[in-house]
Amino acid sequence: MACTVVAGAFWGDEGKGKIISYLALKDKVDVCIRTGSVNAAHTIHFKGKRYALHMVPSTFVYDKCRLLIGPGANIHVPQFLKEVAQTDVEGRIGIDRQASIITQQHSGIDRSNGHLKSLGTTEWGVGPAVQERAKRSAKLAKDIPELKQFLVDVAGEANAAIDLNKTVILEGTQGLMLSLYHGSYPYVTSRDTSAAAICSESGVGPSRVDTIMVVFKAFITRVGAGDLPGELPKDEAIRRGWFETAAGTGRNRRSAPFNFDLAQRVAKIHGATEAAVTKLDVLFPSCKNATSYDQLPKEAKDFLVKIEKAAQVPVTLVGTGPGALDIIDRRD
C-alpha cells in the first residue's frame, strides 16, 4: 500500500473517515493529504471520542502521520485552527501555499443566493470561493499571517515520500455523485470528486498511485436537494435504522437501498482497484463487531459478493461498528 486514493462512491457520507483512520492505525501511514473543502465532514470514533472534522486529515489518529492539506483545497482559517487545537496536531500538519481561502463573505453569498439555496448547499460558501479562485482573485494560504507556520510544498513532500516508498494516502471528500462533472447536476458540489481529481488536487500524478479504494456504505444516503433513486420515506428509514444526520451540518440524510447499477458506474469512473463497505452491521445487525469474514451470516456474505460483481473489484475492508478498528480486513 504505497500510495492509495480513498474516494467516495455515491452522495458522500459513506464512512471514508472511518476507513482512512483504520488504515492509518493498521498500516502506520506516513503521509496523508486531505483534499476538498470545509463543506465536507469526516466522522472518526477513536478512544471513546467522536470527531467530526472538516479540515484535519482523518489519519490524525496515528501520531506519527504527517498531515497535509493540498493546493486544490479551500481553507477556512478559523475552522482549521479550531481543529488543529482539538486534535493536538500543530507540530505535524501543513497547508500548501497555494491552497485558497474561504471566508465569511463567501458564506454570506451562499446563504443569500436564491439559486444556491435551492440546490441545498451547506452554506459554508464553497461555491463562491471556488468561483473567486477561477476568476484568479482569491486569497491564498501564503497571504494569511495566521497560517505562516503551516505553509509547505505539499506536492513536493508527497512525491518525495512516494520516492522513498513511504505509505501515502490521498483523502477524498464527498462522493462521485456530487462531482461537478459526473454527478447529479445541478445538485452537486462545486468541484470534481473523482479519484483523478483527488490526485490533481494533491499534486500527485495518477501513475504514482498504487491503489484506488472506493468506499461504499451498505445503504445510500444524501443531504440536500436532488434525485435519490429508490428513496425511502423517513418513517421507513427510521424503522430500518438507516436514518442519519450529517456530521458537519446536522441536516437530515435521505436514504435508499444500495444501488448496484450505480456502484458499477462509479467504480469505473474512479478506476477503483478495491472497495470498502461500511455499516454492514446496520444492514445485518448480527454482523456487529465481527472481526473475521467467517463470522458473517450467509446473507451478509452474499451481499458483499453482489457488490464485488457489480463493481468488479474485491471488497477488502468491511465496517462492522462505529469505532476506527471495527473492521474486517480481507487484504491479506
pLDDT value, residue 121: 79
Query: Residues with catalytic annotation?
Result: 13, 42
307: alpha, beta or left, given left = phi > 0 and alpha = psi -120 to 50?
alpha
The answer, yes or no, to whether residue 226 has pLDDT greater than 60, is yes
Give tens-digit pLDDT for 130-139: 999 999 999 9
**Domains of the chain: which residue ranges?**
3-329
Give tens-digit pLDDT for 150-183: 999 999 999 999 999 999 999 999 999 999 999 9
Give tens-digit pLDDT for 45-74: 888 899 989 999 999 999 999 999 999 999
Percent of the chain at pLDDT exceeding 70: 99
pLDDT value, residue 116: 78
Size of the chain, expressed as the number of residues it contains = 332
Question: How is residue 321 written as a grid cell?
Answer: 461498528
Lowest mean pLDDT among 266-275, 309-318, 322-331: 322-331
The answer, yes or no, to whether residue 207 has pLDDT greater than 70, is yes
The answer, yes or no, to whether residue 193 has pLDDT greater than 70, is yes
pLDDT bin (cut points 50, 70, 90) of residue 249 is: low
pLDDT value, residue 248: 60
36: alpha, beta or left, given left = phi > 0 and alpha = psi -120 to 50?
left
Cβ neighbors of 253 (< 8 A, separation 6 or more) are: 13, 221, 222, 223, 243, 244, 245, 246
The answer, yes or no, to whether residue 118 has pLDDT greater than 60, is yes
CATH 3.40.440.10 fits 3-329, yes or no: yes
Please state, rounded to an integer, the average pLDDT across all residues of the chain. Answer: 94
pLDDT value, residue 258: 97
Closest CA to 22 of 228, 324, 332, 279: 324
β-bridge partners, 327: 319
Predicted structure pTM score = 0.94
